[in-house]
Amino acid sequence: MSRAGKYPVKIQDGVSVEIASDVLVVKGPKGEIKLPLNTKHSGLVDVKIEDGHVVINPKDAEDKTSRAMWGTMARNVRAAIEGVSNGFQKAMYMKGVGYKASVKGNDLVLVAGYSHDVIMPIPAGLTVQMGDAPTEFTISGVDKCLVGQFADKVHKVRKADPYKGKGIFYKGEKIRRKEGKKK
């Protein structure tokens, strides 16, 4: 049984949720998110709006996939409501000689120790804000999945090196430093 799906999702003040043609539309002050309800997996659950809550139930309580999607859909609805009301963000920083980031137009330009600059187009619905230093930036948006995916893509441009301690990091991320080879 899903413990995440068992409890109804409360609709916060200033957020409107409606079901329109097999799509759950969540609107709030920060934006709008549409969750499809008729795909292969999300079609395994029933979604209803009752008394200021979104109630999710599995169509077949005996089916393992249906029960799994019950909790997944509940978390997706919770994240959508949180995203349109508060938004999500990932703070990142770069560490290394000559490393820096900048935003040019709709592109994130990273100088990360390669012979060329890494230019990454910023997906629609996301914003990248530069911090106090040219090595600090924040990725923000209403879609939790999109923010996390883009942050992971940026993180993989230059993963943290445990020997030299340089790379692209999430704020608060700690890497375990390793000792180099000895003679």
What is the rounded average pLDDT of the residues 117-138? 94
Q: For position 71, what pLDDT does the model report? A: 86
Q: For position 1, what pLDDT does the model report? A: 54
What is the rounded average pLDDT of the residues 105-130? 93
Q: Which two tokens stand for residue 162?
A: 């445990």
Report yes or no: 174 and 99 within 8 Å, Cβ to Cβ. Answer: no
What is the rounded average pLDDT of the residues 116-137? 93
Q: Higher-confidence residue: 30 or 62?
A: 30
**Which residue blocks in 86-143 are alpha helix, DSSP H?**
none
DSSP code, position 113:
S
The model carries a pTM of 0.87
Query: Would you identify the CATH topology of the domain 88-170?
Result: Outer Surface Protein A; domain 3 (3.90.930)
Confidence of residue 92 (pLDDT cuts 50, 70, 90): very high
pLDDT surpassing 90 at residue 59: no
Condensed to tens digits (0 to 9), the pLDDT of residues 71-85 reads 888 999 999 999 999
What is the rounded average pLDDT of the residues 36-57? 83
Q: Which of 136, 132, 141 is nearest to 110 (CA)?
A: 136
Same fold, 3-85 and 88-170: yes
- What is the rounded distance in angstroms from the CA atom of residue 154 to the CA atom of residue 53? 36
Question: Domain extents for the chain?
Answer: 3-85, 88-170
pLDDT surpassing 90 at residue 136: yes
- What is the rounded distance in angstroms from the CA atom of residue 40 to the CA atom of residue 1? 20
Domain covering 3-85 in this structure, CATH number: 3.90.930.12
Condensed to tens digits (0 to 9), the pLDDT of residues 143-170 reads 999 999 999 999 999 998 899 989 999 9
